[in-house]
DNA sequence: CTGAAAGCGCTAACAC
DNA sequence: GTGTTAGCGCTTTCAG
């Protein structure tokens, strides 16, 4: 037997409305009525039908995190893990359910789009967009509120789309400045994927900070993973252009650089200064500990939900941007030296 | 403007029922009517309200994968990735949406349970249970169909619970037998977590295969991760009891063992034979390539959805078990030697 | 093959 | 505070 609000009403000796009121937590219920209803609910094991509620109320009580990274990459990415922690924190004690919508391959994407279209969530958080992400047009076009964690340059954003970002460019500039202050003369850059705006901005910052000294030979693109960082470092070495410092667009790529320096006996920071980007725990465990441009990743996640909830409630949270922060550890020579 | 079935009916010059029929894919619609409706839908951009549908039809058109591993562990686990691939494949072109329900910490668990309770999914797949998982009682108790990927020994399973498993014990036995055939005399075991039934079964198989030769000093528990495999290997070495082979309950732990053998200059397989469990890609990339007990992990994922769909449709798929398969590579001495 | 009619279980004005 | 009354948008008999 599956009970309805009607049954509870009868059992508690009140009307359906009153039951509904205690269900929705309305304050306009007498203590006695409330208790009678709650007892009836407990006795029967009644559970509310959320479709009926959603149909009547127009709310879904669910938000989703749309994950477009292919599984392989996603599951390895500490940034995404941090984001999730933040999202959880931001959700706090809200009734809102949190769904993860995988959209890493075509099949998943079709499913995810269908889910969006069916309006089964009140809003979504879209993680670190790639500009060529096949699902992006749909996301831009949908009328469900979406908070994007990352930049969408050159795209006109409708009222249902807000971004939360970090100062990628300034972060890159601070990295280069630090290296220069530490005596580096030729600074290489292991950049991120070419189609992610954040990575592009870091490259721009790097280039701007270097000005005249910019040398395209010292730039190699990776995809944020450790393996790609290792490959990039090898490529830099192979090219033969000398350099005494590397600015990596992710901590994981910096870890890849370390693999090569270890193999080749290149000393960090004596022979080569290295700086990462992210501020993940992993950088602290490297030997030497990695100097890095930290981004407040959990804060981003937390802000993303809060902004989303705002949008769902009809208030515009605007776009938000957070500063990065240089964390100096052992992979760069202390400025004081 | 958001259209309803009513609007479409008017536009297409048919009744609501007819519109509904084309929406549900009923064959009892004339080609003309169908086309008129489809045109109206296209013109208006009509999208169906799935809550209304669910309320009327009693189906959710969504299944979830319940993930109880904490993020850290989850996102690192190739087994889970394989399971997801299988689930996706199994879902095929069904309308069913696939949700990931995170239940890795208390907060997430409360949310997940609430979601189950609200019956917003038709069923769920529950990954690799730990016996002390705080969410397990809820899962066992709920009336939504659940397929468990793994054993639940000693637990009476209701009609809404089915398991899909592999022959862990037999796999372990085959591993030990292979090592023995390869000349190993003292076989150590890096076991998995004590509270996971699968790992327990592998230990039992190991012990059974060894019989008289079983020596508790040669068993160390890890948690399936590479780091724990490394620690376990060090522990084994520290204990001082000699051994010439290690059977690891996961490929990742075997990779951890490799770290130690590399450091210490222990040659694999000459000084020490190593065998893993899982059959993940990573084992093939190790040097030497890892002999392992492969489990058909994607098949498991695929079967899990199929079983779940069966249950949702009211037919009992029964429990299913799949065999493991020994894959001999370079980390054990060929039997022929 | 099609339409009319009766809900699915709940929320939300609106009166009292 | 509480009950009454309309729906929310769809599916699904049941006649025809």
pLDDT digits (tens, 9 = 90+) for A153-169: 888 899 999 999 999 99
Residue B75 and residue A75: Cβ atoms within 8 Å? yes
Confidence of residue B141 (pLDDT cuts 50, 70, 90): confident
Strand nucleotide closest to residue B47 (CA to C1'): D9
Tokens for B156, please give them. Answer: 């009476």
Give me the pLDDT at residue A53, please: 95
Phi and psi for B292 in degrees, rounded to 5?
-155, 160
Helix (H, G, I), strand (E, B) or coil at B52: helix
Shortest CA distance to B47 belongs to which of B91, B92, B8?
A: B8
Establish whether the CB of B49 is closer than 7 Å to any nucleic acid atom in strand D.
yes
| Distance CA A13 to C1' D14 in A | 36
Chain A: nearest CA to B123, how far in angstroms? 15
**Which parts of chain A register pLDDT below 70?**
70-76, 335-337
Establish whether the CB of A271 is closer than 7 Å to any nucleic acid atom in strand D.
no
Beta-strand (E) ranges in chain B? Answer: 62-67, 97-102, 123-127, 146-149, 161-166, 187-191, 219-221, 245-248, 273-278, 291-294, 320-322, 325-327
Confidence of residue B169 (pLDDT cuts 50, 70, 90): very high
Establish whether the CB of A52 is closer than 7 Å to any nucleic acid atom in strand C.
yes
Residue B119 and residue A71: Cβ atoms within 8 Å? no
Residue at shortest CA–C1' distance from D2: A18
pLDDT tens digits, one per residue of B209-223? 999 999 999 999 999
Protein contacts on strand D: list nucleotides below 7 Å from a Cβ. 1-13
Confidence of residue B70 (pLDDT cuts 50, 70, 90): low
Chain B: nearest CA to A49, how far in angstroms? 6
Res B76 pLDDT > 70: no
Shortest CA distance to A69 belongs to which of A101, A97, A115?
A: A101
Give me the pLDDT at residue A307, please: 97
Q: Which residues of B232-252 are buried (b: 16+ CB within 10 A; e: fewer)?
A: bbbebeeeeeebbbbbbbbbb
Give me the pLDDT at residue B80, please: 83
Check if A99 contacts B (Cβ < 8 Å): yes
Cβ proximity of A69 and A103 under 8 Å: no
| Distance CA B124 to C1' C5 in A | 36
Give me the pLDDT at residue A151, please: 92
* Residue B70 or A96, more confident: A96
Q: With 0-12 CB in 10 A as exposed, 13-18 as middle and 19+ as buried, what is A137?
A: exposed
| Distance CA B186 to C1' C8 in A | 66
Residue at shortest CA–C1' distance from C13: A17
What residues of chain A lie within 8 A of the CB of B49, using their CB? 55, 118-119
Chain A: nearest CA to B74, how far in angstroms? 8
Average pLDDT, chain A: 92
Give me the pLDDT at residue B120, please: 92
Strand nucleotide closest to residue B28 (CA to C1'): C1
Cβ proximity of B49 and A119 under 8 Å: yes
| Distance CA B13 to C1' C5 in A | 19
| Distance CA B18 to C1' D14 in A | 15
Residues forming beta bridges with residue B274, ordered by sequence position:
B246
Residue A81 and residue B95: Cβ atoms within 8 Å? no
Q: At what angle do helices B78-91 and B297-312 cross, to 10 degrees?
A: 40
Chain A: nearest CA to B100, how far in angstroms? 5
Residues of chain B numbered 48-67 and touching chain A (CB < 8 Å)? 48-52, 54-55, 60, 62
Instruction: Indicate the pairing of strand B219-221 with strand B273-278.
Output: unpaired
Give me the pLDDT at residue A293, please: 98
Average pLDDT, chain B: 92
């Amino acid at each position: 037997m599956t009970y309805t609000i009607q049954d509870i009403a009868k059992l508690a000796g009140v009307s359906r409305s009153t039951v509904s009121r205690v269900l929705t937590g309305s304050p306009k219920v007498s203590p006695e009525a409330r208790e009678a209803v709650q007892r009836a609910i407990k006795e029967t094991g009644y559970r509310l039908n959320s479709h009926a509620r959603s149909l009547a109320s127009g709310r879904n009580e669910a938000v989703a995190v749309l994950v477009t990274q292919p599984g392989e990459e996603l599951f390895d990415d500490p940034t995404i893990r941090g984001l999730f922690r933040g999202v959880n924190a931001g959700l706090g004690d809200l009734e809102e359910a949190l769904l993860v919508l995988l959209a890493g391959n075509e099949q998943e994407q079709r499913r995810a789009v269908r889910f969006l279209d069916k309006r089964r969530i009140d809003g979504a958080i879209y993680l670190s967009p790639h500009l060529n992400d096949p699902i992006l047009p749909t996301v831009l076009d949908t009328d469900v509120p979406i908070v994007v964690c990352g930049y969408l340059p050159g795209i006109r954003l409708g009222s249902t789309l807000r971004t939360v970002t970090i100062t990628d460019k300034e972060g890159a500039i601070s990295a280069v400045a630090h290296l220069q202050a530490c005596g580096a003369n030729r600074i290489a850059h292991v950049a991120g994927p070419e189609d992610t705006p954040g990575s592009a901005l870091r490259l721009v910052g790097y280039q701007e900070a270097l000005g005249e000294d910019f040398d395209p030979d010292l730039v190699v693109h990776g995809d944020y993973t450790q393996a790609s960082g290792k490959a990039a470092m090898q490529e830099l070495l192979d090219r033969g252009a000398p350099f005494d410092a590397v600015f990596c667009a992710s901590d994981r790529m910096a870890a890849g650089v370390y693999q090569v320096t270890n193999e080749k006996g290149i000393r960090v920071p004596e022979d080569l200064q290295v700086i990462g980007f992210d501020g993940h725990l992993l950088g602290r465990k490297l030997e030497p500990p990695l100097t890095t441009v930290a981004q407040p990743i959990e804060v981003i996640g937390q802000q993303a939900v809060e902004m989303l909830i705002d949008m769902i409630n009809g208030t515009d949270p605007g776009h938000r941007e957070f500063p990065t922060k240089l964390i100096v550890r052992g992979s760069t020579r202390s400025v004081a030296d």
